[in-house]
Amino acid sequence: MSPVSKPRKKSGSSARKPSRRSGSSARSARLRLPGLKEVYRAFCDAGPVFAALPDALEAELWISTHLGLLQESSPDRGAGLLAALLDLVDELERTGRPEACAMLHGLAAIGPAALHEPAASAADRMSAAAAHQGRSWPQPRWLDLLGQTTPGDCWHTMDRYGELEQILCTFVHRDGDRPHGILIERDHSWHGAAIDITAIDDTEGCRKHLAKAARKDGSELLPLTHTAAHHALKDAFTAFLAHGLASPARPDVHPDEEFFSALAFSVARSRQLDTQAPEGDQPSLAETWDEAARDALVQEYLASPAGVAQDTTLGRMAPKLLIRLSVDVLGRDPRRIGPATLTRIFTDALPGSLLLPDALLDEVPAAITGYYTWLAEQHLPRQDRKEVLRVLRRRTAALPRVLAASPQPLRAYIADIQQGGHDGDVLQAVIDRRGFVIPEPGQRWAPAGIDSEDVDDLDPADEEERALLVQEEMRARRVPRRLHPVHEVLANQLWLDNPPQLWSAAQRLRDTGLSREQVLDRLADVLSEHLSKVLQAAPDQVPGLEHYTRSLDALGHSA
């Protein structure tokens, strides 16, 4: 396979600064994104390089490469990118140069669909202004061929796990010159997103390579209709724009420069595959795998010998969680598993979703292995299971360590739970209680002059750091210093749920409409009063815990 060569600007090329002689001088020069002014200027100055390119294909790839630079650097590949492109159209029109007009035609042909009309209209205005002024307007001989291609054969191949799909679509310009193609790789273990894009000039060599690789993998290279290819590429590009290449938990996974260089070109070519033949309405994955379908698959597993062998609360909980992660996080049919799918589950999905106390971490591998081994036996040919089970063993062996090191902020709130920690309702109740006394990172009080990140980094499970968190909140709320120790004791009692009457009282007070801070202050008043009586009482008259709990029980009741 050989990617189409991409033209490079020669060091000796004569770049000119923009002229303001355009007939569009009356148009506003106000930029939507003024911070990109130098980028627009560089694009305009490259006009002579663009006009000197040898053919339409090289010109289209040049446009795609430079659009890719904008796409790669744009944090918002939606409205923000379109605003930048509209700025670029305006700047090109303002130069009044013939090569800028040619670049506008290139943007209309290769840019996003929403750019076609603005770019084409700007080019028409420039041509009309030149004609009105009687100016000669030389244009590249290939200008009318931009975007004018005829689709040829389309092919695709899928690996035996249904995870990696490769799609080859061929094209030729209207003049029959430079047959070429696009090769798209889709990752069906991640929403079917496009993960690699290449422009191809040796289409026959690429087709033979794909056929050979498919045979080696035990699959085959199959023809695709233009309509099917169009919808497959549209879905692949849409999934990439929506989900990227990985979950937000893996910010290091992103496309390389070559991906963005060919993106606009490939999207434009995919539009030319649309024969206007509508694809039959297909239900979405979430609709196919609604709660009833998910529960049916769980029950099928639990009724099997493998499911009976894992008859624990965690063993019953794991299948439903894994199904949810496949459908909702990976965009993947939960019955389809392979090495890439399992890797995605263990790297993109589980660490951010599975929240368990330390006491249960060692039980996780058996629960997950039991379900996935059953799934492989039900839905994979025998010869394909070996690699899947090898990946499964390796990933599950490391999972307790991965989960223990997970950056989930809520882990600190439940890590020490021993009794009943396998029950999701119990865990949620603990998180509610402890999150009430020490809010999660991002929601904590920080006094003026203290970096909120320093407060968020404190560990509420550590008694000393919990005390610091309480002190910082008291300072931020300007609670009198004499009450800080009382609030520290109160925080420890709520964290440990001792006495349990304390959290019950807090919930009743909260239900009356009091804010969290007001509830804590009311509880602190009761605790302070109790401690004062303890300190002031004679040794044989010290009030016991029952005095404190009776006071708590009296709180929050309606009159």
Helix (H, G, I), strand (E, B) or coil at 397: helix
Cα 404 to Cα 400: distance, rounded to the nearest angstrom? 6
Identify the band that residue 16 occupies on the pLDDT scale cut at 50, 70 and 90.
very low
Task: Please report how the helices 56-73 and 37-45 are oriented relative to each other, as an axis angle in degrees rounded to 10.
Answer: 170
Confidence label for 538 from pLDDT (cuts 50, 70 and 90): confident
pLDDT in tens, 103-112: 999 999 999 9
Report the relative pairing of strands 222-224 and 193-200 from DSSP bridges.
Answer: unpaired
pLDDT of residue 262: 95
Q: How confident is the model at residue 61 (pLDDT cuts 50, 70, 90)?
A: very high
**What radius of gyration do the chain's Cα atoms show?**
32
**Given a cut of 80, is residue 516 above it in pLDDT?**
yes
Q: Tell me how crowded residue 365 is: count the other CB atoms within 10 A of its CB.
A: 17
252 phi and psi angles, rounded to 5 deg: -80, -15
Separation CA 200–CA 212 (nearest Å): 17
User: How high is the pLDDT of residue 427?
Assistant: 85
What is the predicted pLDDT for the residue at 253? 86
pLDDT of residue 519: 97
Check residue 374 and give its pLDDT: 97
Cα separation, 466 vs 416, in Å, equals: 15
65 contact partners, CB below 8 Å, separation of at least 6 = 6, 261
Task: Provide the pLDDT for residue 29.
Answer: 65
pLDDT band of 395, cuts 50, 70, 90: very high
Mean per-residue pLDDT for 525-549?
84
Question: Is 325 within 8 Å of 360 (Cβ atoms)?
Answer: no
Q: What is the pLDDT of residues 411-432, one digit of tens each?
A: 899 989 876 555 677 888 999 9
**pTM of the predicted protein model:** 0.81
- Closest by Cα among 245, 162, 159, 242 to 197: 245
**How many of the other CB atoms lie within 10 Å of CB of 128?**
11
Distance CA 412, CA 351 (A): 14
Give the strands of the sheet with 164-173, arranged side by side.
193-200, 180-187, 164-173, 149-158, 222-224
The yes-or-no verdict on residue 514 having pLDDT over 90 is: yes
Better pLDDT: 559 or 149: 149
More confident site: 542 or 295: 295
* Cis peptide, bond prior to residue 499, ω within 30 of zero: yes
Sign (positive or negative) of CA dihedral 82, 84, 85, 86: positive
230-283 confidence digits (pLDDT tens): 999 999 999 998 999 988 878 788 888 889 999 999 999 999 998 775 656 678
Say whether 556 sits in a helix, a strand or coil: coil
Stretch 460-476: mean pLDDT, rounded? 96
CB 27 within 8 A of CB 80: no
Q: Averaged over 301-324, what is the pLDDT?
A: 93
In this prediction, residue 7 carries a pLDDT of 35
Task: Work out the mean pLDDT of the chain and round it to a whole number.
Answer: 89
Compute the distance between CA of residue 517 and CA of residue 437 in angstroms, rounded to an integer: 9
pLDDT class for 6, splitting at 50, 70, 90? very low
pLDDT, one tens digit per residue, over 196-222 is 999 999 999 999 999 999 999 989 999
Q: List, for residues 17-48, the tens digit of each pLDDT value.
A: 333 334 444 344 688 888 888 889 999 999 99
Whether the per-residue pLDDT at 356 is higher than 80: the answer is yes
Quick one: angle between helices 257-271 and 56-73, nearest 10? 120
Average pLDDT over residues 75-102: 87
Give the chain's end-to-end CA distance (angstroms, integer).
81
Residues 307 and 297: beta-carbon distance below 8 Å: no
Q: Which amino acid belongs to residue 332?
A: R
Query: Shortest CA distance to 337 belongs to which of 293, 301, 384?
Result: 384
pLDDT at 432: 95
Whether residue 308 is predicted with pLDDT greater than 80 in this model: the reply is yes
Percent of the residues in the chain that have a pLDDT greater than 90, as a whole number = 70
User: How many C-alpha atoms does 194 have within 13 Å on its Cβ side?
Assistant: 30
CB 219 within 8 A of CB 166: no
DSSP state of 27: S
Cα torsion angle, 348, 353, 355, 361, sign: negative
Tokens 């590249």 belong to 140
The Cα–Cα gap between 472 and 466 comes to 10
What are the CA-CA distances from residue 535 to residues 481, 485, 539 (Å)?
Answer: 19, 15, 9
